[in-house]
């Protein structure tokens, strides 16, 4: 009998290979272990259990001959009879201009009740940072629409800024002001680990309909699985990258990096990593720069990013705050004492710094900002004496001038939500304050 090898080869080429499948072998806390071959770190898999919808998960480690999986949802109904089916690919989303004005969950799926529009492009979530030699330098200012930031901490297009704040000092309100007032083409807002009620309050309050119309919002609330919370930051960054690669100037707001790091800690410890600095495993400190370095300028467009960092008791030296401050291009500190005094945004210009301001601000602007900073520092020197009634006028001429101009400086620093602050007007007022 003669065998037609050509037909055999053609048939084999058309045949669909049988996908590899495995079984759940252990379920402990947040993670599962599965006996399944051929999977890779970061690969998406599907867990199929009788009586429930398929559950998506991701390979976060390989232990002996088992894959360690973290699910994207609730493990209810999953048992040792559950089947594990590899997908052969990493997590992807759909991206495109149709996302503007939409609210997505931590995996890039619609959260606002409407289906995603047609014409979106499949886009990988975990992407490498741009080649450092392919980045355009940060050379042009990006007005943010907030006087204290534009005047004292001028941001540049492609800069990455840390917003360090405790709870209840106006962080969300300031993010809403940035989303509405910045001279960017669009804004991508990421809410990681927020309370459920705060998401809608942020959309209807600080962000508003005007801000939402030019924004894409990605939200993963505190009750979402740890993997979904950490993925939210990568999904938002991937959406920002899609627009930046097409030449847009994107403002990326991530609230907060601290909750992202806590989600990473949960996943790392559950996967068997040893705790290191204050309970954070080493993978957290490797993952932070991989996320933060994805922002910045490209050959055409760019991402200017603001990352909030929660600092309990104002401790800027705790591990996550210290690590993030060392990676970013500047830090803005919101002071609880300033907020208690009723001045919002509660930014302390003396504790804050923009590392790119000297490269993007005009000499006259730099001189005026430096002069007003000096007056603020002079007032800080004698503030306690003035409060006690122990300061004598004439003892410090610089302090006398600072006290005389303090009401005007406070008026400059104060900016209610909804008040516009054009960049040119901010510079005129700052130069007038400098005298």
Tell me the pLDDT tens digit for each residue of 201-217.
999 988 989 899 999 99
Length of the chain: 435
| Contacts with 240 (C-beta within 8 Å, 6 or more apart), sequence order | 188, 250, 252, 295, 303, 305
pLDDT tens for 16-69 read 555 578 899 998 878 889 998 888 888 999 999 888 889 999 998 888 888 999
Same structural domain, 279 and 383: no
Q: Which whole number is the average pLDDT over 301-321?
A: 88
Q: Is residue 54 part of a domain?
A: yes
- pTM score above 0.85: yes
Same structural domain, 324 and 372: no
Same structural domain, 66 and 160: no
Chain mean pLDDT for the chain: 91
- Better-predicted residue by pLDDT, 30 or 228: 228
Q: Is residue 4 part of a domain?
A: no
Confidence of residue 222 (pLDDT cuts 50, 70, 90): very high
| Contacts with 248 (C-beta within 8 Å, 6 or more apart), sequence order | 185, 186, 301
pLDDT tens for 94-111 read 999 999 999 999 999 999
Residue finishing a domain among 90, 117, 140:
90
Element of type H or E holding 381:
helix 363-388
In terms of C-beta density within 10 A (0-12 exposed, 13-18 middle, 19 or more buried), how is residue 197 classed? exposed
Q: Is residue 1 part of a domain?
A: no
Element of type H or E holding 151:
helix 147-152
Residue finishing a domain among 90, 107, 130:
90
Residue finishing a domain among 339, 358, 377:
358
Q: Which whole number is the average pLDDT over 407-417?
A: 94
Q: Coil, strand, or helix at residue 165?
A: strand
Q: Is residue 11 part of a domain?
A: no
pLDDT above 70 for 11: no
Number of domains in the chain: 3
Checking phi first, is residue 88 left (phi over 0); if not, alpha (psi -120 to 50) or beta? left
Q: Coil, strand, or helix at residue 301?
A: coil
CATH number, domain containing residue 231: 3.40.50.12240
Q: Is residue 30 part of a domain?
A: yes
Q: Which whole number is the average pLDDT over 382-388?
A: 86
Q: Which whole number is the average pLDDT over 278-301?
A: 93
pLDDT above 70 for 264: yes
pLDDT at residue 174 in the model? 94
Domain interval for residue 347: 93-358
Q: Which whole number is the average pLDDT over 7-12?
A: 67
Q: Is residue 378 part of a domain?
A: yes
pLDDT at residue 14 in the model? 65
Checking phi first, is residue 394 left (phi over 0); if not, alpha (psi -120 to 50) or beta? left
CATH number, domain containing residue 53: 2.40.10.170
Q: Is residue 195 part of a domain?
A: yes
pLDDT at residue 302 in the model? 95
Same structural domain, 200 and 287: yes
Q: Which whole number is the average pLDDT over 286-290?
A: 95
Q: Is residue 7 part of a domain?
A: no
pLDDT above 60 for 243: yes
Q: Which whole number is the average pLDDT over 69-76?
A: 88
């Amino acid at each position: 009998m003669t065998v037609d090898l050509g037909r055999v080869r053609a048939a084999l080429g058309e045949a669909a290979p049988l996908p590899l499948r495995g079984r759940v072998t252990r379920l402990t806390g947040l993670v599962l272990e599965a006996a399944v071959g051929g999977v890779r770190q970061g690969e998406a898999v599907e867990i199929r259990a009788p009586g429930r919808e398929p559950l998506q998960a991701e390979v976060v480690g390989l232990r002996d001959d088992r894959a360690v999986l973290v699910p994207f949802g609730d493990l209810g109904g999953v048992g040792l009879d559950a089947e594990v089916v590899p997908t052969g690919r990493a997590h992807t989303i759909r991206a495109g201009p149709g996302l503007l004005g939409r609210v997505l969950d931590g995996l890039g799926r619609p959260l606002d009740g409407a289906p995603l529009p047609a014409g979106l492009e499949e886009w990988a979530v975990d992407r490498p940072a741009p080649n450092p030699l392919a980045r355009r330098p940060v050379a042009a200012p990006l007005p943010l629409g907030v006087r204290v930031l534009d005047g004292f901490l001028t941001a540049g297009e492609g800069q990455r800024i840390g917003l360090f704040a405790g709870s209840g000092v106006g962080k969300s309100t300031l993010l809403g002001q940035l989303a509405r007032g910045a001279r960017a083409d669009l804004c991508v807002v990421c809410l990681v680990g927020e309370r459920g009620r705060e998401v809608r309050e942020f959309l209807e309050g600080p962000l508003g309909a005007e801000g939402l119309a030019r924004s894409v919002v990605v939200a993963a609330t505190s009750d979402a699985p740890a993997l979904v919370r950490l993925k939210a930051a990568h999904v938002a960054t991937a959406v920002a990258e899609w627009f930046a690669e097409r030449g847009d100037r994107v403002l990326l707001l991530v609230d907060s990096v601290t909750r992202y790091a806590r989600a990473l800690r949960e996943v790392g410890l559950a996967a068997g990593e040893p705790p290191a600095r204050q309970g954070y495993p080493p993978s957290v400190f490797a993952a932070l720069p991989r996320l933060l370095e994805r922002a910045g300028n490209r050959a055409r467009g760019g991402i200017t990013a603001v990352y909030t960092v929660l600092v309990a008791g104002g401790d800027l030296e705790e591990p996550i705050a210290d690590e993030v401050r060392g990676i970013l291009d500047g830090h803005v500190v919101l002071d609880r004492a300033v907020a208690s005094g009723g001045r919002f945004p509660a930014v302390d210009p003396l504790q804050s710094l923009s590392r790119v301001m000297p490269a993007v601000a005009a000499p006259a602007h730099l001189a005026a900002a430096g002069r007003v900073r000096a007056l603020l520092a002079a007032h800080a020197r004698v503030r306690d004496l003035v409060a006690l009634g122990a300061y004598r006028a004439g003892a410090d001429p610089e302090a006398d001038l600072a006290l005389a101009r303090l009401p005007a400086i406070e008026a400059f620093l104060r900016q209610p939500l909804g008040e516009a602050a054009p960049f040119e007007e901010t510079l005129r007022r700052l130069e007038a304050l400098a005298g």
